Amino acid sequence: MAHINKPVPRIDQFISLNEPTIGTAYSKDIYPQNANLPELFKPLTLRGVTFNNRIFVSPMCQYSSDNGHATDWHFVHIGGYATRGLGAICMEATAVVPEGRISPQDAGLWTDSQMAPLKRIVAFAHSQGAKIGVQLAHAGRKASTYAPWVHADMAKTWKAPTYVAGKDEGGWPDHVYAPSEIQFSDQYPKPNALTEQQIADLTDAFVKAAERCKEIGFDFIEVHAAHGYLQHEFTSPLSNTRTDQYGGSLENRLRFPLQVTKKLRAAWDKPLFIRISATDWAEGPEKDPATGEWKQWGIEQSTIYVGELKKLGVDLIDCSSGGNWVQQKITVGPGYQVPFAEALKKAHPDIPIGAVGLITEPEQAESYLKEGKADAVFLARELIRNPHWAIHAAQKLGVAVKPANQYERGWADVLTPARPGESSHRRAEEQGTGKEHFEQKKSSPL
């Protein structure tokens, strides 16, 4: 039997093949500690696509694209997650039309030339066994704005007087569109109300972007219907005061996002996720108790919305909140948005729900899944701090999962079969690396 460093097949360069794929829990026959897997490390299969575990990478805007084209920054950023065992990687908000970008440096998928750099990223992710998708988006009234570090620095030594990116800065402040002519704030562009024809054109733009996703090879698509961007703006009475078929009643306010979802479902046969904001976090009740009028967006309407999305064949709801009301007041703490995911899961137990929001500890994340509050967790900032979070979680939860071949020696305690009464520290000391064991055997007088 030949002993070789196996390459990934059917690619144009040597990349070491990981068997099993990175982030997969090993068989209990090899690792007895895996007899009862934590929920985080149980595979999840949606529409024929199997995710190795339930730890998903949230879309993270990088504000680093070149006229909507991904760059080497994205290759390194996403490639790093592809080598570290996350169950799914969702690339950042990617605009379906140029004026749908948040900033001039946002990602896009409105033209064929934007496919090539994404194909390179997806091909590398697949070489590592990772599942990768993209978040299709339109920023609505929050478009043509600065990247965060352009608006202000974290040290608070300076701050721009506005969020608006002007024409001389690559922006398009006169061509910002929303359901209604309502600014997010006086520091944001004043939007133009979309015509019904423009709404139809935007629906088609989402479908065209999905067609490009097929050629690129993405494993799933997520639609951004949260955080005060266009689809969220249509759903909320705070940002949608239209009097036509797209405004007024809840049915009308849901019409545009549901139209997009229906057409995407018809065009895309792989998993389809929708990210929603479960509430606007605005003052007062969601519904006027006296008149029954909806006053703001909240969990009651979100529950109805998810029911409609489920009917259309959506495979997972990524449950976030906020972003549509500039005066929102949120009490932030560990898992502060998980109650919304839990409410949706309780109302719709037959559709997978993803939870987000200051999920930092493996035991914390595991508890949400074990208690039935969600089916997966989406992490962002914690993964910025610790890209190896999935393997770290395995270590904390006592499960053996596959790291990348090149990183295995850093996780020796994760990769040693448990024996009764033995600590992981002791196992790590004994294991070392395969090369070290080989050298010890060669030099041993026995």
pLDDT in tens, 221-243: 999 999 999 999 999 999 999 99
**Banded pLDDT at 428 (limits 50, 70, 90):** very low
pLDDT in tens, 359-368: 999 999 999 9
Residues 6+ apart with CB under 8 A from 382: 359, 360, 389
CA–CA separation, 204 and 341 (whole Å): 30
User: For the CA atoms of 197, 96, 221, 259, what is the dihedral angle to 10 degrees?
Assistant: -10
* Residue for token pair 């209604």: 180
pLDDT value at position 59? 98
Q: Is the pLDDT of residue 149 over 50?
A: yes
Q: Is the pLDDT of residue 382 over 80?
A: yes
If you average pLDDT over every residue of the chain, what do you get?
Answer: 94
Mean pLDDT of 270-280: 98
CB-based burial, 69-103: b 16+ in 10 Å, e otherwise: bbeeebbebbbebbbbbbbbbbbbbbbbbbbbbbb
pLDDT value at position 419? 58
Please give the angle made by the CA atoms of 430, 436 and 438, to the nearest 5 degrees.
110
Q: Is the pLDDT of residue 281 over 60?
A: yes
Strand pairing of 49-51 and 44-46?
antiparallel
Mean pLDDT of 368-387: 98
pLDDT in tens, 287-301: 999 999 999 999 999
Please give the angle made by the CA atoms of 248, 206 and 163, to the nearest 5 degrees.
70
- Specify whether the CB–CB gap between 312 and 262 falls below 8 A: yes
Q: Is the pLDDT of residue 446 over 70?
A: no
Provide the 10 A C-beta neighbour count for residue 383.
22
pLDDT value at position 1? 72
pTM above 0.85, yes or no: yes
pLDDT value at position 258? 98
Mean pLDDT of 149-168: 96
Q: Is the pLDDT of residue 441 over 60?
A: no
- Specify whether the CB–CB gap between 307 and 344 falls below 8 A: no
**In Å, what is the CA distance from 108 to each residue of 31, 98, 151, 237, 359?**
44, 7, 21, 28, 28
CA–CA separation, 137 and 65 (whole Å): 15
- Specify whether the CB–CB gap between 53 and 399 falls below 8 A: no
Mean pLDDT of 380-401: 97
Tell me which of 229, 246, 305, 368 is the catalytic residue: 229
pLDDT in tens, 184-203: 999 999 999 999 999 999 99
229 catalytic residue (yes or no): yes
Q: Which residues pair with 152 in a beta bridge?
A: 159
Q: Is the pLDDT of residue 104 over 60?
A: yes
Mean pLDDT of 423-427: 46
pLDDT value at position 2? 81
pLDDT in tens, 53-73: 999 999 999 999 999 999 999
- Specify whether the CB–CB gap between 219 and 212 falls below 8 A: no
- Our measurement of the distance from residue 389's CA atom to the centroid of its chain's CA atoms, rounded to an integer in Å, reads 15
pLDDT in tens, 111-141: 999 999 999 999 999 999 999 999 999 999 9
**Residue 365 has which token pair?**
């994340």
- Specify whether the CB–CB gap between 338 and 375 falls below 8 A: no
Domains and CATH numbers, the chain: 38-398 (3.20.20.70)
pLDDT value at position 445? 38
pLDDT value at position 423? 46
